[in-house]
């Protein structure tokens, strides 16, 4: 719910962060939230939690039935199937944060990014690239979250996703040195326009 008085305030900015699995998206977005007043959207997924992942913090982990029920009620700003699991951005908290003038960060895939850009053309789409294919492989293995077959599928998906992103993303940022990449994205956020109020 928008608070009284929010109607006159400039809405927040909406930043979409995408990139291949293992490129460093979670690491970067955590730092962006620590260093700015941005609100990081927590997605809902039918994927099983990985080691150390917490419900309500990393994701809201739900069954496929529960997820599909929420699709029916229009609870998601966007949703997509990625590597056989469903992922979606809960709508309400994002609208509230934007109405309150906060910058909102969405860490979602390219399919989801395109859906959000269609709704909010002022959203800025940022795609994170690995410095090399080998670096990406090393990071996915280093994270130790999934087995070899899942990793192979994710690496295969990475090349297709990078090609798709080159067509439609506003900015490509190479995550070579973490600090440098974070600084570059903070500057992109500073330069981003606010989201328009709906008519
Ligand atoms: P994603 O969210 O994109 O799947 P993560 O944030 O989980 O990726 O990062 C994957 C692994 O890569 C983690 O172990 C993380 O510490 C490491 N990593 C992230 N950024 C860098 C970087 N710039 N240089 C080296 N390793 C990195
Ligand atoms: P992971 O399982 O590695 O956490 O995420 C797999 C992929 O799903 C990543 O590309 C991630 O950005 C994407 N993803 C996470 N949450 C969402 C979401 O809410 N919507 C969409 N479309 N993709 C998401």
Residue 180 CA to ligand 1 center (angstroms) comes to 14
Q: Which of 97, 109, 118, 132 is nearest to 13 (CA)?
A: 97
C-alpha to C-alpha distance for 157 and 140, rounded to whole angstroms:
13
Of the listed ranges 11-20, 93-102, 149-158, 170-179, the one predicted with least confidence: 149-158
What does the angle CA 159 – CA 149 – CA 162 come to, to the nearest 5 degrees? Answer: 10
Residue 138 CA to ligand 1 center (angstroms) comes to 9
* 194 has pLDDT over 90: yes
pLDDT for 38: 97
CA dihedral of 155, 158, 160, 162, whole degrees rounded to 10: -150
Q: Which of 5, 11, 8, 34 is nearest to 95 (CA)?
A: 11
- The answer to whether the CB of 76 falls within 8 A of the CB of 88 is yes
CATH number at residue 62: 3.40.50.300
Query: Which residues neighbour 175 within 8 Å (Cβ) at sequence distance 6 or greater?
Result: 19, 23, 24, 28, 128, 129, 130, 131, 181
Number of domains in the chain: 1
Q: Which of 126, 177, 136, 131 is nearest to 157 (CA)?
A: 136
Q: Which of 131, 87, 84 is nearest to 139 (CA)?
A: 131
With cut-offs at 50, 70 and 90, classify the pLDDT of residue 9: confident
With respect to residue 74, please indicate whether it lies within any of the assigned structural domains. yes
Residue 177 CA to ligand 2 center (angstroms) comes to 23
With respect to residue 2, please indicate whether it lies within any of the assigned structural domains. no
C-alpha to C-alpha distance for 138 and 83, rounded to whole angstroms:
20
Among 75, 87, 114, 161, name the best residue to mutate to test ligand 2's pocket (greatest count of ligand atoms within 8 A of Cβ): 87
Ligand 2 neighbour 82 (Cβ under 6 A): yes
Q: Which of 88, 121, 113 is nearest to 169 (CA)?
A: 113
What mean pLDDT is predicted for residues 184-194?
98
C-alpha to C-alpha distance for 14 and 134, rounded to whole angstroms:
31
With cut-offs at 50, 70 and 90, classify the pLDDT of residue 18: very high
What mean pLDDT is predicted for residues 119-144?
91
Residue 25 CA to ligand 1 center (angstroms) comes to 7
Ligand 2 neighbour 29 (Cβ under 6 A): no
Q: Residue with the nearest Cα to atom 21 of ligand 2?
A: 108
* 80 has pLDDT over 80: yes
Q: Residue with the nearest Cα to atom 19 of ligand 1?
A: 24
With respect to residue 1, please indicate whether it lies within any of the assigned structural domains. no
Q: Residue with the nearest Cα to atom 24 of ligand 2?
A: 108
With respect to residue 153, please indicate whether it lies within any of the assigned structural domains. yes
With respect to residue 166, please indicate whether it lies within any of the assigned structural domains. yes
* 38-77 pLDDT, tens digit each: 999 999 999 999 999 999 999 999 999 999 999 999 999 9
With cut-offs at 50, 70 and 90, classify the pLDDT of residue 83: confident
pTM: 0.93
Q: Please give the residue range of the domain that contains residue 103.
A: 10-191
């Amino acid at each position: 719910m928008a608070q009284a008085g929010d109607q006159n305030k400039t809405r927040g900015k909406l930043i979409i962060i995408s990139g291949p699995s293992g490129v460093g998206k979670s690491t970067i977005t955590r730092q962006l939230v620590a260093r700015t007043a941005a609100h990081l959207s927590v997605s809902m997924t039918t994927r099983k939690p990985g080691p150390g992942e917490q419900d309500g913090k990393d994701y809201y982990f739900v069954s496929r039935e529960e997820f599909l029920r929420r699709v029916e009620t229009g609870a998601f700003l966007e949703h997509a199937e990625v590597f056989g699991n469903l992922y979606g951005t809960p709508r309400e908290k994002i609208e509230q944060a934007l109405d309150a003038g906060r910058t909102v960060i969405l860490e979602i895939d390219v399919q989801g990014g395109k859906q959000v850009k269609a709704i909010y053309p002022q959203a800025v789409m940022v795609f994170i690239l690995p410095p090399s294919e080998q670096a990406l492989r090393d990071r996915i293995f280093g994270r130790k979250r999934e087995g070899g077959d899942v990793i192979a599928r994710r690496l295969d998906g990475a090349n297709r996703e990078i090609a798709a992103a080159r067509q439609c993303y506003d900015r490509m940022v190479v995550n070579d040195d973490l600090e440098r990449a974070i600084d570059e994205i903070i500057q992109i956020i500073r330069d981003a326009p606010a989201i328009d109020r709906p008519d």
